Structure 1
Amino acid sequence: MERDYDIIIIGSGVAGTTLAYKVASSGLNIAIIDCREYGGTCPLRGCDPKKVLASASEATDWNNRLIGKGAGTEGLLSIDWPSLIGFKRTFTEDYSRKIEKSLFEMGIDTYHGQAYFENENTVAVGEDLLRGVYIFVATGTKPRKLNIPGEGYLTSSEEFMETEQLPKRIVFVGGGYISFEFSHIARRAGSEVVILHRSKRVLKSFDSDLVDPLLKASKAVGIEVLPENPVIAVEKEGAHFLVKTEFKTETHTGTHTFVADMVVHGAGRVPDIEGLELENAGVRIKNGAIEVDKHMRTSNPRVYSGGDCTSEGMPLTPIAGLQARVAAANILDGNLAEADYTGVPSAVFTIPTMASVGITAPIDSKEYKVVFRDRSSWYSTRRTGLEFAASKVIIDEENDRVLGAHILGPNAEEAINIFAMVMRLGLKASDLKKIVYAYPGICSDIVHMV
């Protein structure tokens, strides 16, 4: 069947549905396509269900930290993993149906299947050919291929969150935020955990002066983090796996072998654009992602793109929503709106949480004022029973502007939003000390962080 639409959306995740909701009241004829269940990665198999798991580990760990300090149970609490997975499913099991129903009720036609471009304005899905005045591509990401023997034995982060019984020994491949978040969850659930990372520095997109105490916190609870251990193969031996890494010294190259009951892929994700046949539409690729301009327009003026499959912006849910809103405005009103990535924060939901916004700089920077605080002995840290906390704020003294902020500690994901707001609204660093904060709380510490 051939159909004509004003707007065709490929992908029903945060970017795709945000654009759909923004244009739905325009009276235009709209279609949306997804090759999987509607809803996308974040609410179904990403950050939202992950945070449900993390919340249980945080609650359990909080109890255990306060044993003997006037709170907590008599003995250590542990996570009931099967019931936690069951609770997690209450957030995901009906989500897809609700999303698709809401799109249908807004008059948007929904399609299921792998979409690909026939030409610059036509998308094929199954036996249907859809022609669009505008097309918005928002297909997200997928796990990066490692191209090693035994790669098929690896468990994806999505599969990890569906595991009915957590095994005793887990190896995480890659030292990014996925591995660290899930390793902290798994460790609190009683598993032995090892993180294997190919290069010297883990969590490389975060400030190293905050990563260092997080590594100490990870080691303190029994998480083994081994940098410079690239995984070269995974083998199956009975019910277990042998994870082989390569190491090099000045004189020779050798291998290490780690025994695991589960091997989890945490080595990054890449844009999920394979199979779209973008070349048929004249859409250029840049470093494996869809190249877009500041209006979220691709090299084909009919085609816009947003979310993690694009070349611009960090791969974060708020960025996907931001880009979709910009694309929607430009499709409806002409290319006037631009994506502004100023002051967008991110967080790693470990214990303690690490959060970041803006640039980083060394403590001894000669270009900026860098305020580093070891907050491990501060009241807001000690009252929670945590041992590791820190902050770093980067300030341009000439303009009195905050250029970056990094926080490790309790409720860091909330406090970072104050810095993000100051940066996005162009307020001054000194304005942070003028605010009267609720006390005692993590945000009341901000006057001592700058």
Structure 2
Amino acid sequence: MTFDFDLFVIGAGSGGVRAARLAAQSGASVALAEEYRYGGTCVIRGCVPKKLMVYASEFSEHFEDAAGYGWSVGDASFNWAKFMQAKNAEIDRLEGIYQSVLDNNAVTHFRTRAVLNDAHSVRLADGQVITAKHILVATGGRPFVPAISGGEHVISSNEIFELPAQPKRVLVVGGGYIACEFACILNGLGSETIQFYRGAQILRGFDAEVADFVAEEMRAKGVDLRVNTDVKSIEKTDDGLLVTPTLGDSFTVDQVLYATGRVPNTDGLGLEEVGVPLGPKGQIQVDGFSQTSVPSIYAVGDVTDRVQLTPVAIVESAAFIETVFKSNPTQPDHELIPTAVFTQPEIGTIGLSEEAARETGKIDVYVASFRPMKVILAGRSEKMLMKLIVATDSQQVLGLHIVGHGAGEMIQLAGVAIKMGATKQDFDRTMAVHPTAAEELVTLGAPTRTV
């Protein structure tokens, strides 16, 4: 059978564009369709604009701290509109790069919605049907907002990037890393910030000591963090949005931001109609090679709900190309993924939490908590946390958790050693770089506890 293309990709996010480029470079004919903007969640309304907002929000502390170092800084104020203009210009630039990647690799691309027509074809919004030997679905995910009374008045992590004005009073609902990041961002930008989480502690799934540490630091920085609390109803009034919580008195804010998880973008794609089963969250079910039960259809990235991280989608795409177009069956490695959470303070983590490590056998836990040099002259009480989890018998490092400035940068490099199977002795014999916060990682002495 003759096909229009060797590969058709649905979705122009990080995973989809990487797969399209690599397939084209291998000699395949490739087409791609994207109904929104090129770059996907990460570039357009996720990692990149969020990190720009993190940088912007950190300056409020920098200005305060400067006095301790001898600087005289005048009145400082934040201009939301000016920042948004600069942010949008950068996002436009990056989207242009994504389009150039497709153009430069002779990928035919359509700025329109595409859905599955059958095992070897897709149908575009204008009715055109295009055939392909292989189809890759890389449509990502979207924010999930639960049904609540007054839910029509809330925004999600999509809309926060497009607000024309800064909310002076804001409620963030959720306890995951996205909710915590935005609570810290808005607080740092000067918004009066309240955060609700219905559970007992934020950052479920992270090391419990890390979650406790970050929660207290967030409160110390001004976030009104309330756990075991949820929204009962929201009502629009002349003064803003009246929030009635499940615990405590009602209050009024300008915006309510829900960051209560994400779901795969599979609605209306025609997956089940062509025989591709979906999981309970709507995720595309795939095997270790990202292949669905329909042999010609594959899926990568958040739409599979395996690990919802941009670098993971990119690795899954590269493995797909190796498997399908280079006759080199390759499964993406989802073990020991270093991760950063851009709360304030920042988190860098890899491997097992203490709670999970205890299930594997006897462990040694090393913990250091200290005021970093950077905050001393500023008179700030903020602390850093470093935590190393080691298997007692083998001395292999099972987990590393860092909270504080530069944690994301540190965990990227430390992740190389841990991925290679580093032991506590490997850390011990590595010379410290002084004076740095990271030197604590290689100067940890006796275990804080053995459990």
User: Same fold by TM (over 0.5)?
Assistant: yes
Unpaired runs of 5+ residues, structure 1, are: 248-254
Separation of aligned partners in 1, 2:316 and 2:141: 16
Q: 1:340 aligns with which of 333, 340, 344?
A: 333
**Residues 51-70 of structure 1 mapped to structure 2, 5 A cutoff:** 51-67=51-67, 69-70=68-69
Specify the alignment match of 2:419 in structure 1: 424
Q: What is the one-letter code of the residue matched to 2:82?
A: S
2:305 is aligned to 311
Q: C-alpha deviations, 1:85-131, integer Å up to 9, x for none?
A: 22212211233233223312321111122222122222111211122
Q: Which of 254, 257, 263 pairs up with 1:261? A: 254
- For 1:152 and 1:133, the matched residues in 2 are separated by 43
Q: Equivalents in 1 of 2:410, 2:149: separation in Å? A: 43
8 Å Cα contact 1:402-1:422 kept in structure 2: no
Name the residue aligned to 2:148.
Answer: 148
Paired residue type of 1:399: S
Unmatched tracts of structure 2, length 5 or more: 446-451
Give the TM-score normalised by the residue count of structure 1: 0.91
Report if the CA contact (8 A) 2:137-2:297 is conserved: yes
| Runs of 4+ with deviation above 6 angstroms | none
1:277-302, Cα deviation, whole Å (9 max, x unpaired): 21122212223211122111122221
Tell me, yes or no, if the aligned pair for 2:348 and 2:411 is still in contact at 8 Å. yes
1:386-397 mapped onto 2 (5 Å cutoff): 387-397=382-392
Cα displacement string for residues 334-375 of structure 1 (whole angstroms, at most 9, x for unaligned residues) = 361111123211122122111111110149956211112222
Aligned to 1:250: none
Two-structure CA RMSD over aligned residues (Å): 2.3
Q: Which moved more, 1:118-127 or 1:322-331?
A: 118-127
Structure 1 counterpart of 2:271, one-letter code: L
1:198 aligns to 2:198 (yes or no): yes
Distance change (3 Å), C-alpha of 1:262 and 1:311: closer
Equivalents in 2 of 1:383, 1:401: separation in Å? 38
| Secondary structure, counterpart of 1:36 in structure 2 | coil
Question: 2:201–2:211: 8 Å Cα contact kept in structure 1?
Answer: no
Q: How many residues align?
A: 439
| Displacement of 1:193 | 0.5
Q: How do residues 363-442 of structure 1 correspond to structure 2 at under 5 angstroms? A: 365=358, 367-375=362-370, 377-379=371-373, 382=376, 385=380, 387-442=382-437
- Counterpart-to-counterpart distance in 2, 1:217 and 1:79: 23
Q: 1:209 aligns to what?
A: 209
Residue identity opposite 1:90 in structure 2: A
- Map 1:41-440; keep pairs closer than 5 Å: 41-67=41-67, 69-74=68-73, 77-126=76-125, 127-247=127-247, 256-288=249-281, 289-312=283-306, 314-334=307-327, 336-362=329-355, 365=358, 367-375=362-370, 377-379=371-373, 382=376, 385=380, 387-440=382-435
The offset of 1:7, in angstroms, is 0.4
* Whole-angstrom CA distance in 2 between matches of 1:5 and 1:276: 20
Q: Distance in 2 between matches of 1:334 and 1:427?
A: 33
Q: How far off its partner does 1:19 sit?
A: 0.8
137-146 or 51-60, larger mean C-alpha shift: 51-60
Distance 1:21 1:121 in 2: 20
Query: In 2 relative to 1, CA 191–208 (structure 1 residues): closer, same or farther, beyond 3 Å?
Result: same
Give the SS at the match of 1:226.
strand
Instruction: Please list the CA deviations of residues 22-57 of structure 1 after superposition, one character each: whole Å capped at 9, or x if unmatched.
Output: 111122111111110111111111111111111122
User: Which residue is 1:251 aligned to?
Assistant: none
> In 2 relative to 1, CA 287–420 (structure 1 residues): closer, same or farther, beyond 3 Å?
farther
Q: In structure 1, what is the Cα distance between the partners aligned to 2:160 and 2:118?
A: 38
Distance in 2 between the 1:227 and 1:95 partners? 38
Query: What is the TM-score of this pair, normalised by structure 2?
Result: 0.91
1:132 Cα deviation after fit: 1.5
- The equivalent of 1:22 in structure 2 is 22
| Mapped partners of 1:113, 1:232: distance in 2 | 39
Q: Secondary structure at the match of 2:304?
A: coil
| Distance change >3 Å, CA 113–CA 403, structure 1 → 2 | same
After TM superposition, give the deviation of residue 168 of structure 1 in Å.
1.4
> Is this contact kept in 2: 1:380–1:440, CA < 8 A?
no
C-alpha distance 97-434 of structure 1, shift in aligned 2 (>3 A): same
CA distance in 2, matches of 1:295, 1:363: 27
Instruction: Give the deviation of 1:428 after TM superposition.
Output: 2.4
CA contact (8 A) 2:276 2:284 kept: yes
Q: Deviations over 1:273-326 (max 9, x none)?
A: 1111211222122232111221111222211111111132x2111111111111
Structure 1 residue 332 displacement after superposition: 0.8
CA distance in 1, matches of 2:210, 2:121: 48
Opposite residue 416 of structure 2, the aligned amino acid is M
Corresponding residue number in structure 1 for 2:449: none
Give the drift of 1:71.
3.7
1:252 corresponds to which residue?
A: none
Report if the CA contact (8 A) 2:217-2:345 is conserved: yes
Kept in 2, the 8 Å contact 1:214–1:388? The answer is no
Distance 2:381 2:329 in 1: 48
CA distance in 2, matches of 1:287, 1:367: 36
Code of the aligned partner of 1:123:
V
> Matched residues in 2 for 1:293 and 1:203: separation?
29
Deviates more, 1:49-58 or 1:232-241: 232-241
8 Å CA contact 1:394–1:403 kept in 2: the answer is: yes
1:393 aligned partner, one-letter code: L
Q: Quote the Cα distance in structure 2 between the aligned partners of 1:211 and 1:295.
A: 34
CA distance in 1, matches of 2:435, 2:356: 28
